Amino acid sequence: MKPNIRIGYGVDVHQLAEGYPLWIGGTQLEAPFGAVGHSDADVLLHAICDALLGALALRDIGFHFSDQDQQYKGIDSKILLQRVYDLIKEKGYGIVNLDATVILETPKVNPHIPQMQEIIADILDLEQQDVSIKATTHEKVDSFGEKRAIKAYAVALLYQK
């Protein structure tokens, strides 16, 4: 008999450009640039959405919230995360924990992690300690290190209720 736990993995990448806000984990960071995307381009929340969806083989965020659909133009990714969580609950699953990493050269993400954890935990009915967020740079290598892109990875562990 299969155990009633599922693991999902998510990754998201966005180009960085001047004139856009920088949203990470539901928090706007001060920066002279931001992530380019159809929604608010919150790379961390998008990676978490994909991890949650992937755990239940529900495809990806683009399948559920197409960048060709104008209703999602500029949408707050916290809304997308809530909708994904609602789908997870409809399937009879809850979340054990999340682990995520953001890759961004600058600005520093670490000072904002507690606020991001609080926002994500609140949306997903988790304790803050169940939302692990780490940040790293790309040591000035490639598009991430050259401040032209941002990336996030996420893993989610789900359990059947």
- Per the prediction, the chain carries an average pLDDT of 95
- List, in order of start, the domains of the chain with CATH numbers: 5-160 (3.30.1330.50)
The pLDDT-based confidence of 2 (bands split at 50, 70, 90) is low
Model's pTM, two decimal places? 0.96
pLDDT tens-digit map of 91-135: 999 999 999 999 999 999 999 999 999 999 999 999 999 999 999
Q: How far is CA 114 from CA 36, 51, 80, 117, 120, in A?
A: 24, 21, 21, 5, 10
Task: Give the torsion sign (CA, 105, 72, 155, 25).
Answer: positive
pLDDT of 145 over the 80 cut: no
pLDDT of residue 147: 79
| Per-residue pLDDT, 146 | 78
Is the predicted pLDDT of residue 11 greater than 80, yes or no?
Answer: yes
Residues 111-120: contacts with CB within 8 Å, 24+ apart? 112/24, 112/25, 112/27, 112/29, 113/25, 115/25, 115/27, 116/24, 116/25, 116/26, 116/27, 116/44, 117/25, 119/25, 119/26, 119/27, 119/78, 120/25, 120/26, 120/45, 120/48, 120/81
